[in-house]
Amino acid sequence: MFFKLPDWLRYDIQHFWERTNVNVREWINSHPRIIIGITTISMLVLFVIVIYMLIPERTIQVEEYGKEWFYDLNTGELFAAKSDLIPPIEAPSGPLSNGEPAGVRAYVFSYSDEPNERNRFIGFLEMPDPNFKLDSFDSRLSGAQRWGQGKLICKPEDNKWVLANSQEGQAILQEFFQPNEKGEVAHYCPPE
């Protein structure tokens, strides 16, 4: 069953449309330049939108470094190695006392725009979680959460390794990524 308008309402709508329709037609006929101008502007706007939609989206260039910082757990010193190496790697001082490699990835930062050795600092250390199984990788997580899966992190002065996506790991990252007392945010310093 269809909805039916009352007769009085249909009559009012029809009467209004007849009055308006005649007035609109008369106005259009008496102002052709305005109608042509509106049509031209509408076509230009449509043309600009179509061109904008056809321009490919710019991709963000991520700078990849050939080398990364690593930290020697025996000496507490930084050293540079190829970025495709997965820690722990062999360190200049040799293996740990248990025979495992002593090199773990180090994230080195600075508040200075032109950092030197004096104003660089180690934010945190990273190595893979030996208990992480690749089949437990959750691809539904955001990029930052996905980064933390299967990784252990710790502060350089601390020897307690925690999961990067655990509460303790997130506390390390949040503490580190907070602006300093001058309001400056630390930025990554790649090795030369």
Per-residue pLDDT of the chain (192 residues; tens, 9 = 90+): 567 888 888 888 888 877 766 666 777 788 889 889 999 999 999 999 999 888 887 777 766 778 888 999 889 898 988 888 888 889 888 888 888 888 999 988 888 777 777 778 888 999 888 777 766 666 666 666 667 678 889 988 888 888 888 888 888 888 777 887 888 888 888 887
How does strand 151-154 pair with strand 162-163?
A: antiparallel
pTM of the model: 0.62
* CA 191 – CA 70 distance, rounded (Å): 10
| Alpha-carbon distances of 192 from 9, 25, 36, 88, rounded to whole Å | 81, 74, 63, 21
